[in-house]
Amino acid sequence: MRDLSRCSRDEQGVTAIETALILPVLLFGVMMLFELARIALMIGIGSLALEHALQNFRHDSNFYRKNAEELQQDIEKRMIDFSYDFLSEENLEIEVLPFDNLYQFGKGTNDPGDEEESLAAQNDRSPPILSVTVDLSQQFMTPLPALFGLGEAFQYQYRHLLGDLPSDEDDEEDE
């Protein structure tokens, strides 16, 4: 009988040691799963907020008349309003690049230098193009990513183009 009770105590000790060794690994896995879920949530919320912020611009042709600074402020304010209080001004960095037409957008410059470029730009009757870039940065919830050298925060970048492409119907109306 003594051997059975001793064997039972030994098994309880082994179980306690195995639990003590595996519990931190399980806890780490659950915490990293929460971090990944939060990253996915923040990227999704940022994407929806940007889409809602730019949605009204597509229906309003007056936004082409605003300068880049005004557009940045409008987009930032709208994104914060549509983000369900998950984003703030510290999380967002917005850059708006206006282009007069598709030709300038394709060349990557906003002021044509030589005569050939200015002639092509005059012949291009496409409306203005806006390139919107939003950099999202968000602090991690736990210190675990920093322990693995991933830093204190994650970053994500969104890019959108606003503009109307010319269609054949527009060309037929002009003729």
Residue-level pLDDT at 113: 53
Band (pLDDT 50/70/90 cuts) for residue 64 is low
Task: Tell me the residue range of the domain where 103 lies.
Answer: 2-174
What is this structure's pTM? Answer: 0.72
CA end-to-end span of the chain, whole Å?
106
Residue-level pLDDT at 80: 93
Can you tell me the distance from the alpha carbon of 68 to that of 65, in angstroms, rounded to the nearest whole number? Answer: 10
pLDDT in tens, 69-101: 888 998 999 999 999 989 999 999 999 988 877
Higher pLDDT, 12 or 161: 161
Can you tell me the distance from the alpha carbon of 73 to that of 59, in angstroms, rounded to the nearest whole number? Answer: 19
Range name among 16-25, 78-87, 104-113, 134-143 with the lowest pLDDT average: 104-113
Residue-level pLDDT at 70: 87
Interval 143-167 mean pLDDT: 84
Residue-level pLDDT at 170: 47
Q: Is the pLDDT of residue 169 over 80?
A: no
Can you tell me the distance from the alpha carbon of 80 to that of 58, in angstroms, rounded to the nearest whole number? Answer: 19
Number of domains in the chain: 1
Higher pLDDT, 82 or 122: 82
